[in-house]
Amino acid sequence: MALHWDETLLLGNSDIDGQHREIFVHFEQLSQACQSGQGEAALKGLLKYLGDYVDLHFSQEEALMALHSYPGLLQQQEQHASFRQKVMELQERDLANSDAHQLSIIINRRLILWFIQHIRHLDQAMVTYIRAK
Ligand SMILES: [Fe+2]
Ligand SMILES: [Fe+2]
């Protein structure tokens, strides 16, 4: 599965789609920084930048779901919290002494792949529900 944004990830809500696309720009920057062996300060800065943007995105989705009394809100909140936890774990890691290849795998699997699956399943269901109302 491709680990970058493409049109198959569009859900039909322009705000949410725009934010998802922006999150993939952050992922790309993080992956590139990791592959080019940038230092701990650069990686931590990018992780913070990603974490802050994702927080904003998750709170906007959660507010939208609450507004529409979406029945899947709790499941979304749980998954959002679990993603925040993954970003925090990476932020707390000793990045200076981490193997760059290993770190790339973690970023690809734990963050990017997770996000793609979340968009395709939970976010798609949420947008479909809200659009049908
Ligand atoms: Fe989302
Ligand atoms: Fe979500």
Per-residue pLDDT tens for 60-97? 999 999 999 999 999 999 999 999 999 999 999 998 88
Q: How far apart are the first and last CA of the chain?
A: 32
Q: Which ligand is nearest to the CA of 65?
A: 2
Residues 6+ apart with CB under 8 A from 54: 23, 26, 83, 84, 87
CA of 34 to the centre of ligand 1 (A): 24
- pLDDT, position 10: 97
| Separation between Cα atoms, residue 70 and residue 88, nearest integer Å | 28
- pLDDT, position 1: 66
Q: Collect the ranges in the chain with pLDDT lower than 70.
A: 1
CA of 97 to the centre of ligand 2 (A): 32
CA of 119 to the centre of ligand 2 (A): 7
